[in-house]
Structure 1
Amino acid sequence: MAEPTPRAAHVLVVDDDPRIRQMLIRYFEEEGYHVSAVADGRGMRDALQRNAIDIVLLDLILGSGEDGLMLAREIRSRSDVPIIMLTGRDDVVDRIVGLEMGADDYIAKPFHLREVLARLRTVLRRQHPSPLQTIDTEDGNLIRFNGWMLDPRERRLVTPEGEDVALTTGEFNILLVMAKHPGRVFSRDTLMNLTKGRNYEAFDRAIDAQISRLRKKIEVGKNSPVLIKSVRGVGYVFTGQSPARTV
């Protein structure tokens, strides 16, 4: 048996197939989780109201005719509880729509129980990172590298010429955590955990795309140094020269 999580997270399974409900109940309880399982949206609402649910495994199509996507949107309108969609359809459009509705991950049936467990643990880690795995946005100290200035408090990036550069929230968070730890190699999964990504975190290429956009903004000109390097098979490392921080 795998080592249980430090705290008995409460998993809510919403699936109209009693065999799947029983299978997931038995498996996750053996792994140290507390599990509730219901067959429809009505049971889901009741469970969410009565219990402190930590994560929801939600079937896309329920026998009652209810749409799992709509239920995911309903949950997200009221709560930040993580959602993993379960479905017999492996359609890219459904997957994207599910993520846009607020789902954190998407698993196609038939699935392997160990994979579901691994995905569930990953989503829970991202939702509840350890104190050492968070960005200290309260630290107002400026970060300087290669003439650039990064202001965590005002969330500003200023060029060596004194011009502001517009960054998305994801781009800023990635640059902030990497610039605070120059020379440290970050995997994609670590960056997703640290920056608390949600909308597209189920796709490995999400971090790659943000890194690519960020490079275009900070590595300008033919003579510009490479500030973010790819580490083959691992992730990325910030190579900017960061003098001592100033207040």
Structure 2
Amino acid sequence: MGKCVLIVEDEKNIVDILRFNLEREGYQTLEAYDGSTGLQLARAKNPDLILLDLMLPRMNGFDVCRALREGGCSIPVIMLTAREEETDKVLGLELGADDYITKPFSMRELLARVKANIRRTEMLTVRSAAPAAGPQLIRRGRIVIDTDAMTACKDDRPLDLTQREYELLKYLASQPGKVFSREALMEHVWNYEGYVGDVRAVDVAVRRLREKVEDDPAQPQFIITRRGLGYLFSEE
């Protein structure tokens, strides 16, 4: 049975185009034309991914995303927005969206992002179901990452990380001192092969991660910025 994508979008012509292209790629689809119905369908049907428009009747995309994440739902969410304001995109990511794509969008790019986010979730599910051969730990000073349990601790206290934040922390900490560009992180953490495009999602994820990991996010000790180059996990 094909993976299921929930489309929450109030413009019928966009829904029809998305449904046609997704079904042609082997996906099943569900459709909602307002935010309230979209939230109900997401909770009732548990789709594999949600394409969520921002400007919706009855309940906007920001509120839908917030309600899903506050309820513990980890379904990948890609926000669809006609807005160019960067603050809207950042807000969506900070509320827990996995990515965004701006209208008018390339169908090829959208399908690639759908595939990458579903694949990432599948990889995490397989990894968590695999029998453990004993704890596999990455120790970086006060930070300890258990790659079997997919958890991280600081000073022996568990960190409350999203899946994306955990993956980002693990990837950086697995190669301390090495600088990774935002494009490289989009490719290896977000699973977007050969990524070229907006990398704001990386900056937002790093900022959120620092708020949970650093003693003072404004003066980071673990996740360091190399201006014009990218990010690294400190070897110190």
1:65-106 CA distances to partner (integer Å, 9 max, x unpaired)? Answer: 532111111122221111111111121000011111111111
TM-score (norm 1): 0.60
Structure 2 matches for 1:105-120, cutoff 5 A? 105-120=99-114
Report the alpha carbon displacement of residue 172 of structure 1 after superposing the two structures with TM: 5.2
| Distance across 1 between alignment mates of 2:97 and 2:202 | 16
Counterparts in 2 of 1:207 and 1:69: CA distance versus 1, 3 Å = closer
Structure 2 matches for 1:56-95, cutoff 5 A? 56-62=50-56, 64=57, 66-78=59-71, 79-95=73-89
Q: Does 1:203 align with 2:201?
A: yes
Q: 1:139 aligns with which of 135, 140, 145?
A: 135
| Distance across 2 between alignment mates of 1:21 and 1:77 | 27
Q: Give the share of equivalent positions with the same residue, in percent.
A: 28
1:122-176 CA distances to partner (integer Å, 9 max, x unpaired)? Answer: 2223333254699x896256769xxx7975468468xxxxxx9xx9975752354
Number of paired residues? 199
Report the alpha carbon displacement of residue 189 of structure 1 after superposing the two structures with TM: 3.6
Q: Does 1:122 align with 2:116?
A: yes
Please identify the structure whose Cα radius of gyration is greater. Answer: 1
State the Cα RMSD in Å: 4.4
Counterparts in 2 of 1:12 and 1:202: CA distance versus 1, 3 Å = farther
Conserved? CA contact 1:9–1:33, under 8 Å? yes
2:185 corresponds to = 188
SS of the equivalent of 1:178 reads coil
**Aligned amino acid, residue 69 of structure 2:** R
1:39 corresponds to = 33
Unaligned runs of 5+ in 1: 1-6, 158-163, 195-200, 219-227, 241-247
Conserved? CA contact 1:11–1:54, under 8 Å? yes
Q: 2:4 aligns with which of 6, 10, 13?
A: 10
Conserved? CA contact 2:4–2:30, under 8 Å? yes
**Aligned amino acid, residue 9 of structure 1:** K
SS of the equivalent of 1:111 reads coil
Unaligned runs of 5+ in 2: 147-151, 192-198, 215-219
Counterparts in 2 of 1:52 and 1:206: CA distance versus 1, 3 Å = closer
Report the alpha carbon displacement of residue 53 of structure 1 after superposing the two structures with TM: 0.7
| Distance across 2 between alignment mates of 1:88 and 1:69 | 14
Q: Does 1:174 align with 2:171?
A: yes
| Distance across 2 between alignment mates of 1:150 and 1:137 | 22
| Distance across 1 between alignment mates of 2:38 and 2:51 | 11
Name which of structure 1's ranges 29-38 and 42-51 shifts more when overlaid on structure 2.
42-51
SS of the equivalent of 1:12 reads strand
1:189-230 CA distances to partner (integer Å, 9 max, x unpaired)? Answer: 465259xxxxxx86245688889x9xx858xxxxxxxxx9x9
Report the alpha carbon displacement of residue 52 of structure 1 after superposing the two structures with TM: 2.7
1:103 corresponds to = 97
Report the alpha carbon displacement of residue 22 of structure 1 after superposing the two structures with TM: 0.7
Conserved? CA contact 2:145–2:153, under 8 Å? yes
Conserved? CA contact 2:143–2:154, under 8 Å? yes
TM-score (norm 2): 0.63
